Amino acid sequence: MGQAKSILSAYVTSAQEGYVTVTRWTWLMITIFYAVFFCWYTSFEGLLTQPEIDNYLMKLNFTDLELSNFRRFMMEDDGKDFVMINIIEMNQVPLQIEGVEPGETSDQGLAKYMEYMLPAMLFRASHPVFSGKAASRRALDLLNADGMEKWSIAVGVRYRSRRDLIEIATDPAFSGRHQFKMAALKKTIALPVAPFHYLGDPRLILGLLLGLFGCLVGWYRAHVALSYR
């Protein structure tokens, strides 16, 4: 009998030690995974420097007015993420440029542009945060904006930093794809919004989910360890 109690006691002790080990390893892996994600998703490169701004302006193939707007946008860099609000009216039929096949829709033409943009954005922790078609054929409220009554879709894209946006726009591959966007769109407005805070921030959602997972693992291992007492 005494030997059986000793064996049972050793088994319980082993189960409890296993609970501690598994729980610690679980939280360690959660911490490492979240830290890696947070560092990737958050910009730590600091503000754009004047040499960087001058270099980017030389690479951008824009009009003088667009370059002036981008210069100010970069000069006012806060080093943080922002959301670009895009309001778009699509062409009924895309402009017939090289690469756009007869019979293709504007959506298909825009998809060719996004073949570059989506991978480039995701590589730099940038992504759409909302997208939807216009719920009304005409704008419900309009003031001093003639010709701005009709829109097709609205998209909000989160960029990790202003540097990331400019890096995407100055990539040589961008110029080869940008023509498809110009062929698909009749008109568009792109307005950067910063700071931009929302409850759907992946850093918050992932942190909550990983925390819940860690607690569930700890609860389960504790339940297993106590069941042997």
Give the closest residue to 71 by CA, choosing from 53, 59, 58. Answer: 53
pLDDT at 213 (0 to 100): 94
Give the integer Cα–Cα distance in Å for 150 and 152. Answer: 7
Long-range contacts of 218-226 (CB under 8 A, 24+ apart): 218/23, 218/26, 218/27, 221/18, 221/19, 221/22, 221/23, 222/19, 222/23, 224/15, 224/19, 225/12, 225/15, 225/16, 225/18, 225/19
Whether 152 is in a domain gets the answer: yes
Give the integer Cα–Cα distance in Å for 45 and 42. Answer: 9
CATH number of the domain bearing residue 122: 3.30.70.100
Contact by Cβ (8 Å): 91, 186: yes
pLDDT at 8 (0 to 100): 43
Name the pTM for this structure.
0.84
Give the integer Cα–Cα distance in Å for 128 and 120. Answer: 12
Give the distance, in angstroms, between the CA of residue 63 and the centroid of all CA atoms in the same chain. Answer: 28
User: Partners of 187 in the beta sheet?
Assistant: 89
pLDDT at 20 (0 to 100): 62
208 and 132 in a common domain = no
pLDDT at 11 (0 to 100): 44
Q: What is the pLDDT along the chain (229 residues), one digit of tens a residue?
A: 554 455 445 444 544 555 567 788 889 999 999 999 999 999 999 999 999 999 999 998 888 998 999 999 999 999 999 999 999 999 888 888 888 888 888 988 888 899 889 999 999 999 999 999 999 988 888 888 888 889 999 999 999 999 999 999 998 888 778 888 889 999 999 999 998 888 889 999 999 999 999 999 888 877 776 665 5
86 and 10 in a common domain = no
pLDDT at 12 (0 to 100): 47
- Looking at the structure of the chain, the number of domains it has is 2
185 and 98 in a common domain = yes
Mapped onto helix, strand or coil, the DSSP state of residue 128 is: strand
Whether 58 is in a domain gets the answer: no
pLDDT at 7 (0 to 100): 43
Structural domain span for residue 21: 2-42+202-227
